[in-house]
Amino acid sequence: MAATIYDIAREAGVSSSTVARVLRGDTKGDRKDSAERAARIRQIADNLGYRPNLRARAFSEQRTKGVGLLYTDDAWVFEGVNDKVLQGLVRELRKHDHHLLLVPVGAGGDWEELVLGGHVDGCVTFQPLPEAVRSGIRDAALPCVMLGDNSDPEMPHIVVDDVTGSYSAARHLIALGHRRIGLYVHSTVKPHCSIQERFQGFELAMTEEGLVPDFWHCPEDEMIAVLTRGGARPTGLICYSDLESTLIGHAMWQFGLKIPNDLSLIGFNDKFATKYMTPPLTTVGFDANRIGTLGAEMIIRSLTAENAKEPPAPTSVQVKTQLIVRGSTAAPPREA
């Protein structure tokens, strides 16, 4: 159906190799007759609507120029700021003539067949993956970059500077006069490095001031119960992400409590809508798009480095965070 280099070759009266070379621009055009022939070949290709067959090329070159995005199958892959990460990833990959495949892990449909079967040249992972997946990738020596996860020191990864982020958040609350401050992670968030590191930064700021860091990893109703009970409840809460902030902020409103008057709230991620919350959310932001861009660059590099037989050095990149102070934080209530 579609024209091949052979069709062109026949019509031009040359060999298929010549066509292939010309079409790839792999010719100098020194001699005059050559140049003319090249032009004619291009002309014929154009007339025939020739388009290289990518399946054949992938087979021949033994690579697809595809990169798989592996993620565990929870509901939050495209949520939060991951959309921006994804955007940066896809765009940068496209710039380098590669493309992204979405590969949920553990959602039926065998990821192994797809990823290890050679339909992708490398992969990028979101979130901590099951050990089986990691070892599968490692055994296959498949180039891989982990995003937001440094649980595997062997693999290059890009993470957010969580320690500094939560440190500055805690510092901000302390400076406002808060003494009882907590860090809240929703129970649906699976344990991984970001939780630990956000706790570390938080803990550091607290202990520097001789304060005791409180930590919750529970469903929202438990957290809400703590925040709405009388007595020594926290007056400031740092949330693992903007999701928790949304949940807690809403609950406070339902209970007739005011933010920031009754509770200072800090989110994480600076997703778009938080700017428009009531009140606008103070949050720890970072350039999510850049995570994607860097991830793409990194995987592309190891994909090309592979051709050069040089094993890519394990690399770790941190993306800076910045506290964005808006309206959800203020001095603690008097009685505190």
Residues that bind its own copies (CB under 8 A): 2, 51-56, 58-59, 62-64, 66, 73, 75, 77-79, 82-83, 86-87, 90-91, 93-97, 99-104, 107-109, 112-114, 116-119, 246-247, 249-250, 253, 272-273, 275-278, 280
**Residue 335 near which of its own copies, DNA, none (CB within 5-8 Å, type-dependent):** none
Q: Which of 2, 39, 212, 225 binds DNA (CB under 7 A)?
A: 2
Which one, 49 or 230, has the nearer CB to its own copies?
A: 49
Q: Cβ–Cβ contacts within 10 Å for residue 175, how many?
A: 11
Roughly what angle, to the nearest 10 degrees, separates helices 193-208 and 162-176? 40
**Residue 255 near which of its own copies, DNA, none (CB within 5-8 Å, type-dependent):** none
Contact indicator for 44, 11 with CB cutoff of 8 Å: yes
Total chain residues near DNA (CB under 7 A)? 32
Contact indicator for 323, 168 with CB cutoff of 8 Å: yes
Strand 214-218 and strand 157-160: the pairing is: unpaired
Spell out, one character per residue from 20 to 49, where the chain touches DNA: x when CB under 7 A holds, - when not. Answer: xxx-x--xxxxx-xx--xx-----------
Which residue, 254, 229, 224, is CA-closest to 239? 224
Residue given tokens 């590969």 in the structure block: 103
**Residue 175 near which of DNA, its own copies, none (CB within 5-8 Å, type-dependent):** none
Strand, coil or helix: 319: strand
Which one, 70 or 163, has the nearer CB to its own copies?
A: 70
Q: Where are the alpha helices (DSSP H) in the chain?
A: 5-12, 16-23, 32-47, 54-61, 82-95, 111-114, 131-139, 162-176, 193-208, 220-228, 242-254, 288-307
| Distance of closest approach, residue 17 Cβ to DNA, in angstroms | 3
**Residue 18 near which of DNA, its own copies, none (CB within 5-8 Å, type-dependent):** DNA
Q: Which of 59, 78, 255, 272 binds DNA (CB under 7 A)?
A: 59
Contact indicator for 301, 143 with CB cutoff of 8 Å: no
Q: Which residues bind to DNA, rule: CB under 7 A?
A: 2, 4-6, 13-18, 20-22, 24, 27-31, 33-34, 37-38, 50, 52-53, 56-57, 59-62
